[in-house]
Amino acid sequence: MAELLFYNRPARLNRVAHAKLRYTPLPNFEFARKVTSVPLMAAEFPLACRQYPIIFVQSPDGTVIAQAVLSLTEGINTFVNDKGQWTATYVPAFIRRYPFVLAEIPGKPDDFDVAFDEGSGCFHPKKGEPLFDDHGAPSAFLNTQVEFLKNFHGEHQRTRRLLEVLKTDGLLVPYNVDIVRTKDKAQFAVRNALVVDETKLQDLIPEKVAAYLKTGMLAMIYAHLISLQSFLSVANRAGGQADNSFPWWAK
């Protein structure tokens, strides 16, 4: 169960051990208060680009991951206010799936168990939505959650394939940004990120562009490029007006 971030006590759901367990939704997003970025799926780019910078990072194994930037300050999610409310209109799916998650089954790379965060405070024996019915079958509520998790996983795999194409085609380049906030001269920096190079994109042969258009990759790319302007608003969320940050495409 990689990339769990705020999952404190992940456990695999068991129809016997958890037969009487019920779910109550959290009243706020306190669980994500310290998260500064989350993985983002390609299907989310058109909505997310209006509020979050979308960058790419390369993991140690070479896999490229898309991330929505939630803050430029370590340990502070600028989209969660003092009341624990999410202040942007679009909440990334990675956040919305909490406290559930799919867990890989050892030796079965294509099979998954449903897991949940036992430490989330969402699960109780007497109140909330039941996870199983009286016969031990998944409840309608749990089936809805499982469907969401399956869709999330499918989109995750699709996003990985699209990003692998960007990497293979040589469109990703290093991206670094320095921002100085006007209000208090606080400095922010983004390092070791990757972005799509617009010049290389424009130099693609027509057949490649057509393929990008057909797979939805072209829309994903332009949403990503538009989103980079959102670094300014993220800095402003921490207070003050940011400047000295242009050009945004400086490498």
Q: What is the mean pLDDT of residues 224-229?
A: 96
Is the pLDDT reported for residue 2 higher than 60?
A: no
Alpha-carbon distance of 40 to 57, in angstroms, equals 12
**Parallel, antiparallel, or unpaired: how do β-strands 64-69 and 54-58 relate?**
antiparallel
| pLDDT value, residue 182 | 65
pTM of the model: 0.90
Q: Quick check: bond before 106 cis, omega within 30?
A: no
What integer is the mean pLDDT of 153-173? Answer: 97
Banded model confidence at residue 251, pLDDT cuts 50, 70, 90: very low
User: CB of 153 within 8 A of CB of 3?
Assistant: no
| Nearest partner of 228 among 182, 197, 185, judged by Cα | 197
What's residue 180's pLDDT?
72
Distances (CA, A) of 53 to 87, 108, 170, 203, 251: 15, 35, 21, 25, 16
Give the separation between CA 251 and CA 247, rounded to whole angstroms. 9
In this prediction, residue 246 carries a pLDDT of: 41
CA 121, 125, 129, 130 dihedral sign is positive
3-class secondary-structure state, position 126: coil
Please state, for a pLDDT cut of 90, what percent of the chain lies above it.
Answer: 81
Q: What pLDDT does residue 108 have?
A: 83
